[in-house]
Amino acid sequence: MIKPIGSDTLTPLFVYDTERHHELMHEAESLPSVVISSQSAGNAVMMGGGYFTPLKGFMTVGDAVGCAQNMQMSDGSFFPVPVLCLLESVDEIKGVKRIALRDPNMEGNPVLAVMDITAIEEVNDEQMQLMTEKVYGTLDVDHPGVAAFNSQGRMAVSGPVEVLNFSYFQDDFPDTFRTAVEIRNEIMERGWKKIVAFQTRNPMHRAHEELCKMAMDGIEADGVVIHMLLGKLKPGDIPAPVRDAAIRKMAELYFPPNTVSISGYGFDMLYAGPREAVLHAYFRQNMGATHFIIGRDHAGVGDYYGAFDAQTVFDEEVPEGAMEIEIFNADHTAYSKRLNRVVMMRDAPDHSKEDFVLLSGTKVREMLGQGLAPPPEFSRPEVAEILMDYYQSINKD
């Protein structure tokens, strides 16, 4: 089985030992505490689940700047984005060596993790600008990722953490949320050797379905892990429970038995395009995937990135030998009227524009909202029905 990055074994930071977990929860109630940002909470959840192996906690400013600049921490370790715990104020924890981190996304702000503080540093304007520009490729505050990153505060608290819960993800998505440890275990139980991972924050239409099948056929994979984002999205994105239902219906009806695993992870979308694609590949290797599909405008938003920047970044910026996972580069996909199936457009050089069925996401959302099923070339009817129900319910509201 493929090794985790920088380690022979996964190093999840969640405290699985029951006695130790109880001791820490009791201790946390008497520790000074801070409510962290949603982005920091997502980072803690990912570290807890082993996805960010071999990180031991939140980075110092120097390490974070190094990751932004060249994807390397000061000790040479590879990591593609800063993992910071940024606060607006540290007045209540000055001089303290151990604190509780509280969850901003759950009622009552329960304890999420306990941290041993190694440093408290102020991020200056130059450092903030460098990290923003390197990770997001823009300083535009209209970019949702830029806005979220820059709204957290400028005080960075760093140090190792012990994670005590998985925020709302385990409660809200008990059938879908899985740690990297659990996914590795499932892959081993299924006996899969070659595994393709597919990232999604949207329901899967025919093009996505066929893309997974093309990748599986292309590398002769045993199975595909459809791995969906369960954290915060931008306004207008379809909620996770609706996506989950649509994806499960598609997998049940249109994939052979024992070829699909459906799971999700708790993290806020960065919309960082190429740099986020590298992060996605990073934690897919940690969860056991040998291959990862990168398609058009992966993890992008608006017009901030070129259509295939998320593919070229692996050749142009990722340090050589940093990851073992292989990238399956996907082209634009569309339904070919001549071949009666979905194809990657690069594989049909003899086609003209009229030979393809192309529908914009906006057009499809309009149709769904009006109770109209998209054509079968775009969406499976069973999937369309689930989405139509959702859009009609919000239109009533």
Helix axes 61-70, 125-136, angle to 10 degrees: 40
1 pLDDT band, cuts 50/70/90, is very high
Q: Report the Cα 211 to chain-centroid distance in Å.
A: 19
The bridge status of strand 260-265 relative to strand 223-229 is: parallel
Residue 396 has pLDDT above 80, yes or no: no
Quickly tell me which residue has 């996964």 as its tokens.
Answer: 10
Q: Which domains does the chain have, with CATH numbers?
A: 18-170 (3.10.400.10), 177-396 (3.40.50.620)
- The pLDDT of residue 296 is 86
Among the listed residues 322, 291, 297, 301, the one whose alpha carbon sits nearest the alpha carbon of residue 309: 297
* pLDDT value at residue 359: 64
Residue 19: what pLDDT? Answer: 98
Which are the contacts of 343, defined by CB distance < 8 A and separation ≥ 6? 210, 333, 334, 335, 336
pLDDT confidence of 234, banded at 50, 70, 90?
Answer: low
Number of H helices, E strands in the chain: 13, 15
* Tokens, residue 393: 């319910």
Residue 365 has pLDDT above 80, yes or no: no
Residue 346 has pLDDT above 70, yes or no: yes
Pair 247, 228: CB distance under 8 Å: yes
The pLDDT of residue 77 is above 80: yes
Query: Would you say residue 227 has pLDDT above 70?
Result: yes
Strands 195-200 and 223-229: parallel
Structure tokens at 37: 């940002």
Is residue 366 pLDDT above 90, yes or no? no
> Taking residues 196-225, what's their average pLDDT?
92
Q: What is the pLDDT at residue 360? A: 63
What mean pLDDT do residues 121-131 have? 98
Please tell me the predicted confidence (pLDDT) of residue 373.
85
Lowest mean pLDDT among 68-77, 214-223, 305-314, 385-394: 385-394
Catalytic residues: 201-202
Closest alpha carbon to 388 in 358, 354, 364? 364
d(CA 133, CA 235): 23
- Residues 328 and 334: beta-carbon distance below 8 Å: no
Cα–chain-centroid distance for residue 117?
Answer: 27
Tell me the pLDDT tens digit for each residue of 350-362: 998 888 887 666 6
Decide: residue 121, CB within 10 A, 0-12 exposed, 13-18 middle, 19+ buried: middle
Task: Show the beta-strand stretches assigned E in 147-299.
Answer: 155-163, 195-200, 223-229, 260-265, 291-294
Convert the pLDDT of each residue in 31-70 to its tens digit. 999 999 999 999 999 999 999 999 999 999 999 999 999 9
* Percent with pLDDT over 90 in the chain: 75
Nearest Cα residue to 298 out of 176, 208, 174, 205:
208
What pTM does this model have? 0.93
What mean pLDDT is reported for the chain? 93
Q: Among residues of the chain, what percentage have pLDDT more than 70?
A: 98
Whole-angstrom distance, CA of residue 131 vs CA of residue 148? 13
Mean pLDDT for 12-29 is 97
**Structure confidence at residue 397 (pLDDT):** 59
Pairwise CA distance, residues 74 & 62, whole Å: 7
Q: Can you tell me the mean pLDDT for 164-189? A: 95
N- to C-terminal Cα distance for the chain? 49
Model confidence at 256: pLDDT above 90 = yes
